[in-house]
Structure 1
Amino acid sequence: MKSNLTTKDFHNERLSQGKGVSVINLGCARNLIDAQTIISHARKKGQKIVDLEHCDVAVVNTCGFVEEAKKESIDTIIDLLELKKQGKIKKVVVAGCLAQRYSTQLLEEFKDIDAILGVQKLQKEGMPSDYSLTPKHYAYVKISESCYNHCRFCIIPKIKGKFTSRTFESIIEEIKVLDQKGVKEVNIIGQDITAYGMDLYKEL
């Protein structure tokens, strides 16, 4: 069975030695930030970011929160594996929430997946990214991951793991960099931003 790869392992494997990497992002704005992180790491390793028609490695950043999103993610994986079967791309990497929640099942069901990159491993690679997928005038800044609550209807804590806040200093530094780039609007996001700092500073 194929092993799970961290972002670092993914790039050390040199999956992209030809045309480049294409990243398909599905889901929410928090996923968008994770996609930016994947792209940033790829660029730092000298890999080209290209569209799907010109790539040899396709990375799909999935969502696994609601049924409709899971279906969209599965359909995209199937489409990419069909392109691989046709020889149009060489490798398929599945990242994101669906990959975190169903990594074993995905590898059993879709044996041609080349690597799984769960969100908890991606989170350890850190932020911010030097690549933006938003228009130049605004950006998202993620200040925390996961949630303290364990509501019966919500799977987020099981997918994201333990609630973690970024340091206040790292957030301010990222916003300063965005300001220098001409960003006019910063959107602060997280699964539960009202709990920000409780793990680090023991207060809101």
Structure 2
Amino acid sequence: MKISIISLGCSKNSVDSENLIGLLEASGVEVVSDVGEADVALVNTCGFIQPAVEESVNTILDLELLKEQGRLKKIGVVGCLVNRYGDELKQELPSVDVWAKAEEWALVARSLGLVPAAEPVRGMLSETRPWSRYLKVGEGCDTFCSYCTIPSIRGRARSIDIPRLSSMASDLAEKGAKEICLVGQDLTIYGRDLYGEPRLRELLSELDRELPRDVWIRLLYLHPSRIDERFIDFVAGHERILSYLDIPVQHVDPEVLKRMNRPSDEEHIRRIFSYARKADPFFALRTTIMVGFPGETESQFSKVLDFLEQAMIDRVGAFIFSPEEGTPAAAMEDRVSSEIGEERYRRLMELQSEISLERQKLFLEKKLRVLIDEIDYEDDTAWGRSYREAPEVDGLIGISGGSVLEEGQCVEVRITDAAEHDLFAKIAGE
């Protein structure tokens, strides 16, 4: 039996897909990257927001067509969409052979007539770069933002213990990982369910001790309310832990934050970003902003623009509020019109483009250590990332004369030019 897995959604979903691949391979089947070569196709779905739901449904319909044409024997639907809309989907998609919620990987194996392996090893998606891997520290979320579906889809926060995570990280390093990105719905609450209090720093200290010295540790998705000056100093004081923090604030106005069911301490948000800048002017900061939340006024939105100018954030991901079925925010009145939401989004991104370019120019003529992701041999250019660029979401560094390099190699470069998202460089010493 040959099985192909289509993985949709976020990096946390990619980890799930690789865990499923590992289980299936250990259970005796061949996992192939091309659906055209497979007997069975499984889609690991995303159900976080409506565009993701639509992408998942369209992918399922494409697989149904392949099954009708006799090109697939079975199809399966697993993951977040099943958690969110499982009963409805089963009625509307009767040709689907396998259904399983997120983490029900043993059920997938049994549904295919396999005996689940007792101790599977994490597999790898065909698009995964072996030198850059994600390590999911837990599942679920306890924050309950009023606009978010994650707690209803994935449940309460459940952490993986420190010894197990240390073992998993070491295994990734042995398989060639040069960069390990820690992910979870919110890293700052890691361990609270297991140890009675958050233990992120203890986890990081353990990884710092156990991993080879040339492996980067990158932190993604940190709730601002639980970031303080001591934590910023901790990160800045550990060379292996990259000076890069992804802290999604969503907004800064106290009233908007309150309606979002997020801590509404605007002063704290501004203070921690300011502290990081003072601690290290080259500290890489990323955040996420939501515009057009119900009731957002022009003056409240202006506070966001002021915050961006004050904090000088390197990277910003912005999106317009979307009412998600079943969330408290979807029932809120005083909706912001789509026209106003789009106009605010445009203004925010225009401002951030200027800020991003200004931050990029700080690195002209400086040296950076870069992890090579891909090489364009025709253009004689290598593309990679430094500590400032997280995989998939940030810009890249283009290195001229890079065809002499190798993918997965770390190299020191000198920055020669800067654009809004990307930097350009030469190999240091040339």
Specify the TM-score bucket, using the shorter chain as the normaliser.
0.7 to 0.9
Match of 1:188 in 2: 182
CA distance in 2, matches of 1:100, 1:168: 27
Match of 2:25 in 1: 43
> Which consecutive unaligned segments of at least 5 residues does structure 1 have?
1-15
User: Normalising to structure 2: TM-score of the pair?
Assistant: 0.42
CA distance in 2, matches of 1:131, 1:184: 17
Structure 2 residue 9 is the aligned partner of structure 1 residue 27 = yes
For 1:140-165, what per-residue CA distance to the aligned partner results, in whole angstroms no more than 9, with x for missing partners? 00001111122221110111112100
Identical aligned residues as a percent? 38
> Which consecutive unaligned segments of at least 5 residues does structure 2 have?
108-115, 199-430
Choose which of 169, 176, 200 in structure 2 pairs with 1:175.
169
CA distance in 1, matches of 2:153, 2:103: 8
Q: How many residues align?
A: 186
* Alpha-carbon shift at residue 136 of structure 1 (Å): 1.8
User: Normalising to structure 1: TM-score of the pair?
Assistant: 0.86
Amino acid at match of 1:78: L
Structure 2 residue 136 is the aligned partner of structure 1 residue 142 = yes
CA distance in 2, matches of 1:143, 1:91: 32
Match of 1:13 in 2: none
Name whichever of 192-201 and 130-139 sits farther off.
130-139
CA distance in 2, matches of 1:122, 1:55: 19
Q: Which has the higher contact order (CA 8 A, sep 6+)?
A: 1
Kept in 1, the 8 Å contact 2:16–2:103? The answer is no
Change in Cα spacing, 1:169 to 1:190, as seen in structure 2 (3 Å) is same
CA distance in 1, matches of 2:181, 2:47: 23
For 1:36-64, what per-residue CA distance to the aligned partner results, in whole angstroms no more than 9, with x for missing partners? 01111110111011220011100000000
Match of 1:132 in 2: 124
Pairwise mapping of residues 155-170 of structure 1 onto structure 2 (< 5 A)?
155-170=149-164
Choose which of 79, 83, 95 in structure 2 pairs with 1:96.
79
Change in Cα spacing, 1:71 to 1:31, as seen in structure 2 (3 Å) is same
Structure 1 residue ranges, 4+ long, deviating more than 3 angstroms after superposition = 122-129
* Alpha-carbon shift at residue 121 of structure 1 (Å): 2.7
Pairwise mapping of residues 106-121 of structure 1 onto structure 2 (< 5 A)?
106-121=89-104
Greater share of residues in strand: 2
Match of 1:84 in 2: 67
Structure of higher CA gyration radius: 2
Amino acid at match of 1:171: L
* Alpha-carbon shift at residue 131 of structure 1 (Å): 1.3
Matched position secondary structure for 2:43: strand
Name whichever of 128-137 and 168-177 sits farther off.
128-137
* Alpha-carbon shift at residue 96 of structure 1 (Å): 1.0
